[in-house]
Amino acid sequence: MAGLATGDSMPVAGGETNPDIGLLYDVNGMAKGAPHWVDRVMEFVGEYGIVLGFAVLMLFAWWNVRRKEDAPCGTAALLWSPLAAGIALLINIPIRGFVRRPRPFLEHQGLDVLVQGKTDFSFVSDHATLTMALGVGLFVANRKYGAIGIGLALLEGFSRVYLGVHYPTDVIGGFALGTAVALLLAPLAMMLLTPLTRKISGTRAAWLVRSPDAPEPSGPVAPAPAGPADAALSGRQALRHDRDLAA
């Protein structure tokens, strides 16, 4: 077991324990009664394991999406997942600098800190932000793999509190930030990424976007009119064609 952190005791306001602090002690308290090997497993899972799990999950999702009928669109959605995570982490940098919340073990005694060397600010959790953005972004591409990814993100959030390096609200804030970025920017991202993946599908690197045995799109896609004038011209042509048939 890791050494206990020192600092102030749990703050009490109006005779009631702060629920954020209380939940921190409840979850982190599990580490005190757990065997040493469990703590080591949680340390690896919380720091590296879940992120590696996401890499494997993304690989499986990519392999599956390439075999779909509209593979370029699915691949674009899958590509958005890590991009969303990166953007969310960048947004978190000024948030941390503005809030400047110390790590919980610096202010509260009795915590079993399983990961040493954390000297940056606590709110919001980078790990929670990263994994939830990946999970929600993956959900945009494929619901089955996305559900697994969101489950991994929830486990990551639990582990950060278990390890004694984050408050529960740090994790909740990370979940909110990752979800907001992945969902709110998804339409713009798809608008930019889908033409790119469709273009790649027509090159020698097409295997990155579309499996050779993927089904062809069902039916030709009619090109959209370039503008109002083209739309009016198409309408007149269709009307002339109907008159010819009537004659």
pLDDT at 14: 39
Yes or no: say if 200 and 208 are a contact pair by the CB < 8 Å rule.
Answer: yes
Most confident of 38-52, 93-107, 172-186: 172-186
pLDDT at 69 over 50: yes
pLDDT at 66: 85
Average pLDDT of the segment spanning 32-54 = 88
Average pLDDT of the segment spanning 172-193 = 95
Q: Where are the domains of the chain?
A: 12-200
Average pLDDT of the segment spanning 26-51 = 87
Average pLDDT of the segment spanning 107-132 = 88
Reported as a single tens digit per residue, the pLDDT across 184-241 is 999 999 999 999 999 988 888 888 888 777 676 665 444 434 444 444 434 444 444 4
State percent of the chain over pLDDT 90. 47
Yes or no: say if 9 and 46 are a contact pair by the CB < 8 Å rule.
Answer: no
pLDDT at 214: 64
pLDDT at 224: 39
pLDDT at 218: 61
In whole numbers, what is the pLDDT of the chain averaged over residues? 81
